[in-house]
Amino acid sequence: MKLRTPVGIAAAAVMLASCQPASEGATGKKAEEGVEPLDEQPARIVATTVSATELADALNLELVGIPTSYKELPERYENVTEIGNPMSPDMEQIRSLDADVVWSVTTLEADLEEPFAQAGIDAKFLNFQSVEAMSEEILEMGEAYQREEQANRLVARFNERISELQKQTKDADSPSVLILMGVPGSYLVATEHSYIGDLVRLAGGENIVQGEEEAEYLASNTEYLQQANPDVILRAAHGMPEEVVEMFDEEFKTNDIWKHFNAVKNGRVYDLEELLFGTTGNIAVVEALDELEAMLYPEAGD
């Protein structure tokens, strides 16, 4: 099933710059309650994205550099040096911190690998493009930084919620789902290979866009989408969430084709919370799945 020309992962990442998600950890609440700080810090780490910063917090790791973000970061990093936005971190600032390693994400690797190398900075690009890939990264980081207990606990929490949700929905009809990824001025269609698409799959939904190889996002074609006629439409707003929601509202109001969608007729159009549903994964997997369950299976809450 095709829409239009696939939007490359790197290109989509550029369009969705500075949209790294925040989670419960970003509200100032520790991801691992009751875990005392360890005396030995195994490395000097700079995290360049919010999701990487939250992972460090969950693993009980200190950082020497954090991203500049309008989102609230974990309280423990309140006085840590800011190194700029995820798409264009300040290389000189990072070098001055004498970091052993810098954490970014794979969706930004094509843009940042060479600049980091030219600056002589050792970069680790975390694969947060699916829950499975993120879980593997978490376990790897736990082993690398002597935080196996925290890593295992976090991944076990993900797996427990996924297993529970799959048991609850195994006999239910899978709703068909359209995921729209909005940035100021435009929107894309998220495929099964995007992080939100992966969450929808784990929650039991069926993405109407299948078989698109590795493309995470595609250009929109409303006529094709209407023919697919999804049961549910999910709208993810990023970059400037309030502006994007207004854009979506205007599009659905003025473009007559949307009123023919079953999801619109049945009132099953949902705006996703940016703090839970990002362009890459974050540690708020359980909270995101809870939200999706209510959207995809509203009868379960009756």
What is the pTM assigned to this prediction? 0.84
Same fold, 9-164 and 172-301: yes
Partners of 190 in beta bridges = 217
Mean pLDDT score of the chain: 86
Partners of 236 in beta bridges = 181, 272
Tens of pLDDT, residues 249-280: 999 999 999 999 999 999 999 999 988 998 89
Report the pLDDT value the prediction gives residue 1, as an integer from 0 to 100: 43
Report the pLDDT value the prediction gives residue 279, as an integer from 0 to 100: 87
Better pLDDT: 238 or 144:
144
Maximum pairwise Cα distance, the chain = 62
Overall CATH class of domain 9-164:
alpha beta
Q: What is the 3-state secondary structure (H, E, C) of 55-123?
A: HHHHCCCCCCEECCCCCCCCHHHCCCEECCCCCCCCHHHHHHCCCCEEEEEHHHHHHHHHHHHHCCCCE
Residue spans of the domains in the chain: they are 9-164, 172-301
Q: What is the mean pLDDT of residues 169-194?
A: 91
Residue with structure tokens 């550099």? Answer: 65
**Can you read off the two tokens belonging to residue 301?**
């809450």
- In CATH terms, the fold of domain 172-301 is Rossmann fold (3.40.50)
Tens of pLDDT, residues 71-106: 899 999 999 999 999 999 999 999 999 999 999 999
